[in-house]
A = this chain, B = another copy of it.
Amino acid sequence: MAPRIAARTKLLDAAAQLFYAEGISATGIDAVIAKAGVAKMSLYNNFESKTGLVMAYLEARHQEWSGLYQARLEKAGDGADGVLAVVDAYIDHAEAGYEHGFRGCGLLNAAAELPAGDPGRSIVAAHKLQVEQLLAGHLASMTTKKQAEALAGQISFLLEGAISRAGLEGNSALLLRARAMISDIVKAL
Q: Which residues of A does B touch, CB under 8 Å? A: 21-23, 25-26, 101-104, 108-117, 121, 124-125, 128, 150, 153-154, 156-162, 164-165, 167-170, 174, 177-178, 181
Stoichiometry (number of copies): 2
A interface, over-half SS: helix
B157–A162 touching, CB < 8 Å: yes
Residues of B within 8 A of A168 (CB): 111, 121, 124-125, 128
Closest to A23 in B: B113
Report the nearest B residue to A132, measured CB to CB.
B165
The 5 residue pairs across chains A and B that have the minimum distance between CB atoms = A161-B161, A157-B161, A160-B161, A112-B112, A101-B116
Once the chains bind, are A22 and B115 in contact (CB under 8 Å)? yes
Name the CB-closest residue of B to A162: B157
Interchain CB contact under 8 A, A125 and B169: yes
Q: Which residue of B lies closest to A26 (CB)?
A: B25
CB of A154, distance to nearest CB on chain B (Å): 5
A150 CB to closest chain B CB (Å) equals 8
**Interface contact A113-B26, CB-CB below 8 Å:** yes
**Partner among B22, B101, B161 whose Cβ is within 8 Å of the Cβ of A158:** B161
Most buried by B among A104, A116, A150, A157: A157
- In the complex where A125-B168, A154-B158 touch, is A112 in contact with B114 (Cβ < 8 A)? no
